[in-house]
Amino acid sequence: MKLTVNKSDVIDVLAKVQGLTGRKSNLAITENLLIRSEPDGITLIATDLESGFEGFYPAKIEEEGTIAINAKTLYEIVRELPSEEFRIHEVENRWIEIGNRKVLYHIVGMNPEDFPDHPQVGELEMVELAANDLKKMIEKTVMIAGAPNDKRAHINGVFLEKQEGSKTPCLRMVSTDGSRLALVEQELEAETPALPEAGMIIPKRGLNEVGKFLENEERIQAGTKDNKFIVKKENETFIIRLLEGDFPKYADIVKRDRGHEIKLERLVFLKMLKRMSILSSETYKGVIFNFRENNLEITATNPDRGESKEDMDIEYLGESMQIAFNPRYFIDVLNAVEEDTVVLHLIDEEKPCLIEGETDKRFLSVIMPMRI
Amino acid sequence: MILHIDMDAFYASVEQQDNPWLRGKCVIVGGTGNRGVVCAASYEARKFGVHSAMPGFEARRRCPEGIFIRPRMKRYKEISARVMDRLRDFSPLVEPVSIDEAYMDVSGCEALYGDAEAIGRRIKEAVFQEVGLTCSVGAAPVKFLAKIASDMDKPDGLTIIGEEDVLAFLETLPVARVPGVGKQTFAVLEAMGIATLGDVKRFPEEILYRQLGKYGRRIMALAHGVDRSKVEPVREHKSASSECTLKEDTDDAALLKKRLLSQAEEVAAELRKLDVKARTVVLKLKHADFRQIARSETLPIPTRSSAVLYREAARLLDQYRLRQKVRLVGLGASGFVSSALPVQQGLFSGGEDRAENWERVDRVLASIQEKYGEGAVCRAVLRDNGGEEKE
C-alpha cells in the first residue's frame, strides 16, 4: 500500500478515535487502526469490540492495500509532522513508512486479516436530527455513570425510545445509576420513520465516543438494526452493539404532579452547593437540605474535616422538611440546565426529588434522597 | 499504682467451674481433632508439661489421661465480660488487653480501698464472688512491672512491687521475662552478654539502639523502671473478623462459601455490637502449604448486612483461582464508619437494596436466637452447622 494524505484531512479523526482504540479489549489489535485504500481515498476503521467506527477521507493512492497500525503511534506522529502532506507506505512484512522528505518513521503494523470484522448494516430506516442536538442529549445522559464494575444493562447503558403522541414525535433518552436519573427529549421532524416500540439500551461508553464526533448543525442520521445502534454522518458511521436487558419502569418517577414546587435561582443554588460540598469525602457524601419558610439552608457535616452551613432565600411556604442528598447529583443537573431558574418538585424526605428548568421541559433529572 | 489482673488457666478454669466433675483433673481446652492446638491447660495438666499453643497430638502424648474439651468461646467471652465489669466497680480506668487479662489504674483509690495489697485482695475477692474463678494480681508503679508481677506467683497470686523495691527488682530481673522480649530479641541480648535488666542498664544505649532499633530505647527505659504507657480504657476497634481452620484441607468452593456465610453472620453481629458499618470486606485464605493470602473489596456504601458481607466475600473467592487446597478460610470487615451515616437510597426497588435490607433480617434473627437459643432459627443452608468441618 502506498498513498499520500493531507494532515488536516485526518488529524481530527485520528484524535477522536483514541477513545475507541485506547480501550483495552481482549484483542490486542483493537489498539490499531485499520486503513484500507479506496479509489480516491482511505477508509479508517476502529473498534473496541462494542462500538465500531468507519470513516472515509480523501487521499492520493499509488498502490492499493490494507494496513493495521497502532492508533496512538500514528496519531502522535501525524500530530507532530511539520508538513501538510505525508506519505504512508507499506514497505514489506508489515513495516510501514510514514513521513515526508525530511522526517521518516518506520513502524511495524499488525496483520490486517486479524482485525475484527466490521459489521455492515445495509439498508435501514433512520431518523434525522442535528448533530448538536444529539450531542447535547448524549452529554446530559452519559454524565450519570454507574460504578465501573456494575454490568447491569440499565446502569451501563442509556435507554432510547421514540415518543409518539399528539405533538411532534421526539426522541427520548433516559439514563440512571440507580440513585438518580436524567431524561432528555429532542423533537424530530413530523415525517419520521418508526423506531422499535420497546426502545433500546445503548452502552454509555459507546455513546460517549459518538459524542466526540458530533459538532455543529450538520444533519446526521440515527437508526437501529440487528441489535445495533447506528449513527451516520456524511462520511463517518458509528455502529454500537446494544445491551440486552430491561430498563426499569421510570414513568412514575418522572411525574411532576405531586408535592411542593419550589423555584430557585440556578446559579445561586449551584454555587451554594459547590461550597457546601467542599467538606464532603468518599465516606461522608451527604448534606442536609433544610426547607423552611422562604429559606433553604444546607448543612454539611464530616467528622473527619468539620462542618459548614449556608442558606439562600427561596419561595416556599410549605411545612419544614429535612432531606439528605448527595450534593454532587444536584451540581451535575444544575450544570446541565441552561436556564436561570430551576424548579424543584419535592414530596418528602423519602421520595425522589425532580428538578428541571423553569421553561424548558425537555430535560429533567430525578434524585433520590439519602436516608439519615 | 497500676494493677495487672490475669485469670488463672482461664478457659480450663471456666470448664472446671461449669462442670464440677472436671475439677482436679487434667483439663485441656483445644487440641481436639487431628489438627488442633491447645488453647489452655488446667494446672493439673500443666504438671505433664502441657501448655498453650502446643499441638494436640503432643499434648495427648504427654498427658494420655487428659480430658480434651472443645473451646466454648461464647461462654468464655461472657465470663470475661462479667469479670471486666466487676473490675470497673473499682476504677473506670480498666484496659482489657485480652480475654483474660486487664490493666487497672488505681491511683487515687487508696483513700477508698486502702493500699495496693488491700485493693488487690478486694479485687481477687470480687472476681471470685462474681464467677467463682481465681486470678493472679500484680501491682507496681508502672504497667510492664505490674504484668511481670502478676506472673510471679500463679495461681491465685498477689504480688506487689513497691516504689522503693523497683530498682532492686529490676537489677536481677531476667530479660526473658520482660514484655517485648521474644525469641529473637532474647537471642540478640544473649549474644551481647545481657542476662538481666541490670545488665541492660549498664550497657551503652547506642549499641542497644543499633542492635534492636526502637525497642532498644524502650528496654533501656524499662531497665530504669520508666514506662510511660498509660492505662487506656477505650481502644478503638478497627476491624472485625472471623476465621477457622478446617478439619480437612479442601478446594470445594461451595464448602468454603458455607463457612463464609456463617462467618458473615458473626462479623455482622460484631459490627452491630460496635455500632459501626464497614466499607471493606476481606477474604483470608491459608493454603495447605501454609501460604496465606488476603483479598479485599471496598464498597461504595458501608454495610453491616450479613448478606452483603457474604456476597462480597463469595465474589472475592470466585475471582481468586484456587490452585491448592485450603486449610483456613476467614472473613473480615474494616474501614469502620458510624452506623448513623446517611445512606443513599435507590430509585428503583430490588437488587442492591435487598441485600442491604437483609440487615433487618439479621437483627430479627439475632433477637430470636437470643431469646430462644441459637438452634431456634437459622439460614437453611447452615442448618447442619459448619461445626462438622471446623476444628
pLDDT tens digits for B166-183? 999 999 999 999 988 999
Domain boundary among A64, A87, A114: A114
Contact A150, A181 (CB under 8 A): no
Residues listed for chain A: 372
Could you tell me if residue A262 is inside a domain?
yes
The verdict on A109 and A209 lying in the same domain is no
On whether ipTM exceeds 0.85, the answer is no
Domain boundary among A69, A89, A114: A114
Q: Strands across the sheet with B94-98, in order? A: B94-98, B101-105, B2-7, B135-140, B158-160
Answer whether A180 touches B (CB < 8 Å).
Answer: yes
The verdict on A259 and A319 lying in the same domain is yes
The string of pLDDT tens digits covering residues B30-86 is 988 778 899 999 999 999 999 999 999 999 999 999 999 999 998 999 999 999 999
**Number of domains into which chain A is organized:** 3
Enumerate the residues of chain B whose CB falls inside 8 A of the CB of residue A285. Answer: 342, 344
Closest Cβ–Cβ partner in A152, A178, A326 for B346: A178
Burial B241-250 (b: 16+ CB within 10 A, else e): ebbbbbbebb
Cell numbers given for A333: 443537573
Taken in order A251, A256, A258, A260, the sign of the CA dihedral is positive
Cβ atoms within 10 Å of B161's Cβ, excluding its own: 23
- Confidence class of residue B387 from pLDDT cuts 50, 70 and 90? very low
Q: Say whether A283 and B341 touch across the interface (CB within 8 A).
A: yes
Q: Say whether B347 and A147 touch across the interface (CB within 8 A).
A: no
d(Cα A73, Cα A129) in Å, to the nearest integer?
35
Q: Strands across the sheet with A370-371, in order? A: A306-313, A295-302, A287-292, A321-325, A370-371, B343-344
Could you tell me if residue A247 is inside a domain?
no
The verdict on A175 and A269 lying in the same domain is no
Catalytic residues of B: 101
In Å, the largest CA–CA distance within chain A is 79
The verdict on A314 and A347 lying in the same domain is yes
Enumerate the H helices of chain B as residue ranges.
10-18, 43-46, 56-62, 73-88, 110-113, 116-131, 143-150, 166-172, 183-191, 197-202, 205-212, 214-223, 253-274, 306-319, 352-372
The string of pLDDT tens digits covering residues B292-337 is 999 999 887 889 999 999 999 999 999 998 889 999 999 999 999 8
Closest Cβ–Cβ partner in A179, A253, A303 for B344: A179
Q: What share of chain A is helix, strand, coil (3-state, %, to 5)?
A: 20, 40, 35
Could you tell me if residue A120 is inside a domain?
no
Domain encompassing residue A26: 2-114
The verdict on A67 and A137 lying in the same domain is no
Enumerate the residues of chain B whose CB falls inside 8 A of the CB of residue A350. Answer: 345
Q: Say whether B351 and A372 touch across the interface (CB within 8 A).
A: no
Could you tell me if residue A122 is inside a domain?
no
The verdict on A270 and A314 lying in the same domain is yes
The verdict on A208 and A168 lying in the same domain is yes
Contact A342, A263 (CB under 8 A): yes
Closest Cβ–Cβ partner in B340, B342, B352 for A178: B352
The verdict on A267 and A201 lying in the same domain is no
| Percent with pLDDT over 70 in chain B | 97
The verdict on A275 and A322 lying in the same domain is yes
Residue linked to cell 487434667:
B26
Q: What is the DSSP letter of B196?
A: B
Could you tell me if residue A324 is inside a domain?
yes
Q: In chain B, whose CA is at the least distance from the CA of A281?
A: B300
Delineate the domains of chain B, giving CATH numbers in brackets: 2-8+75-165 (3.30.70.270), 10-73 (3.40.1170.60), 174-223 (1.10.150.20), 239-390 (3.30.1490.100)
Write the DSSP assignment of A17-81 as a string of letters: THHHHTS--SSGGGGEEEEEEETTEEEEEEE-SSEEEEEEEE-EEEE--EEEEEHHHHHHHHHH-
Class of residue A137 by CB neighbours under 10 A (exposed 0-12, middle 13-18, buried 19+): buried
- Tens of each residue's pLDDT in chain A, 372 residues: 999 999 999 999 999 999 999 998 889 999 999 999 999 899 999 999 999 999 999 999 999 999 999 999 999 999 999 889 999 999 988 899 999 888 999 999 999 999 998 887 778 888 888 999 999 999 999 999 887 777 788 889 999 988 876 677 888 999 999 899 999 999 887 666 666 767 899 999 999 999 999 988 789 988 888 889 999 998 999 999 999 999 999 988 888 877 899 999 999 999 999 999 999 988 888 999 999 999 999 999 998 899 999 999 999 988 999 999 999 999 999 999 999 999 999 998 889 999 999 998 899 999 999 988
Could you tell me if residue A121 is inside a domain?
no
The verdict on A72 and A11 lying in the same domain is yes
Per-residue pLDDT at A198:
76
Q: Which helix (H) or strand (E) holds A141?
A: helix A131-142
Domain boundary among A216, A241, A266: A241
The verdict on A143 and A226 lying in the same domain is yes
Q: Which of B157, B391, B381 lies closest to B286, judged by CA?
A: B391
- Confidence class of residue B391 from pLDDT cuts 50, 70 and 90? very low
d(Cα A246, Cα A201) in Å, to the nearest integer?
8
Cell numbers given for A31: 489498539
Could you tell me if residue A14 is inside a domain?
yes
Q: Which of A269, A266, A256, A254 lies closest to A338, judged by CA?
A: A266
Enumerate the residues of chain B whose CB falls inside 8 A of the CB of residue A290. Answer: none
Q: Say whether B341 and A179 touch across the interface (CB within 8 A).
A: no
Enumerate the residues of chain B whose CB falls inside 8 A of the CB of residue A372. Answer: 340, 342
d(Cα A126, Cα B89) in Å, to the nearest integer?
82
- How close A331 comes to chain B (CA, Å)? 16
Cβ atoms within 10 Å of A208's Cβ, excluding its own: 18
Per-residue pLDDT at A190:
61
The verdict on A131 and A98 lying in the same domain is no
The CATH number for A91's domain is 3.10.150.10
Per-residue pLDDT at A369:
94
